[in-house]
Amino acid sequence: MSATLSYIKKKSPVHGLTGSTKFIFFLVWSLAAMITYDTRVLVAMFLMGVAFFKMSKLTWKDVRFAVLFMVWLIVVNLVALFLFAPEQGVEIYGTRTEIVHLFWRYSIIAEEMFYLFNFTLKYLAVIPVALLFILATDPSEFAASLNKIGVSYKVGYSVAIALRYIPDVQRDFREISQAQQARGIDLSKKDKLTARLKNSAAILFPLVLSSLDRIEVISNAMELRGFGKKKKRTWIVERPFKKADYTAILTAVCMMIVSLGCIWLNGGRFWNPFI
């Protein structure tokens, strides 16, 4: 299990897609899931997402931590939605089928439960695809794929460089905090908040300084090798689009059309089984 999400190298049809394809797929797919509350569409998207995940040869172990974390987020989100707007479903679907009254203004209402269920489905439809984008996209292709969809290569490259340096900064952080701990600066203890803030400055101050040094070196190194010389640049890792890439993007676009079509058929974003 890994607590951090990063690229996992494998050989699979999903890994074989170009970074741009995965990025476009992820964007279109998320948009399709975002606009609709149609249970049928969302269930279909979730199942397809799981199927894609299977295709990628990634395992449950690779994502367990991330998934559990997101499930926790969803639960928090659901509880909040219910607490603040317990009758939202009634408003949307126009009927009120109370199953059991709880207390004060809170009841278990079929419409509200259905609404929350659809809400959860939206997350579930996106999560597998998002995980695939993060775990199956070679970071080398990140910048190139951002560039391909129109983002300036300078912006794209700064994202890539940030990714490249995360492990280094993590190592710096660990080493600095260990050395400072040896001087009696402890962060783990249940000190007062002000004391802890002060203590963390003892780690952050050197960390920021050493990161600034790194930035100076890297920006010099990049400039000395001609970064920013021209309006465009080429990418050695860029891969040509293959049939699979077109198929994948077509799939996402189809999903988008289905999602839009259902909105048209339902006469709104919600599919209402209550009437």
181 interacts with other proteins by CB under 8 A: yes
Query: What is the nearest approach in angstroms of other proteins to the Cβ of residue 217?
Result: 4
83 interacts with other proteins by CB under 8 A: no
193 interacts with other proteins by CB under 8 A: no
Q: Which is nearer to other proteins, 128 or 156 (CB)?
A: 156
CB 89 within 8 A of CB 109: yes
**Amino acid in position 211:** S
* Residue 242, H or E segment: none
* Residue 18, H or E segment: none
Q: How far apart are CA 99 and CA 146, in angstroms?
A: 49
**φ and ψ of 75, to 5 deg:** -60, -45
Q: How far apart are CA 58 and CA 248, in angstroms?
A: 18
Query: What is the nearest approach in angstroms of other proteins to the Cβ of residue 26?
Result: 20
Query: What is the nearest approach in angstroms of other proteins to the Cβ of residue 4?
Result: 14
Report the residue from 48, 74, 130, 202 that binds other proteins according to the rule CB under 8 A: 202
Report the residue from 99, 237, 250, 254 that binds other proteins according to the rule CB under 8 A: 237
Q: How many residues does the chain have?
A: 275
Report the residue from 103, 236, 243, 264 that binds other proteins according to the rule CB under 8 A: 236
168 interacts with other proteins by CB under 8 A: yes
Dihedral angle sign, alpha carbons of residues 116, 121, 34, 136? positive
Plot region of 268 (φ>0 → left; ψ -120 to 50 → alpha; else → beta):
left
166 interacts with other proteins by CB under 8 A: no
**Total chain residues near other proteins (CB under 8 A):** 52
Q: Which stretches of the chain bind other proteins, using CB under 8 A? A: 138-140, 160-161, 163-164, 167-168, 172, 175-176, 178-186, 199, 201-203, 205-206, 209-210, 213-214, 217-230, 232-238
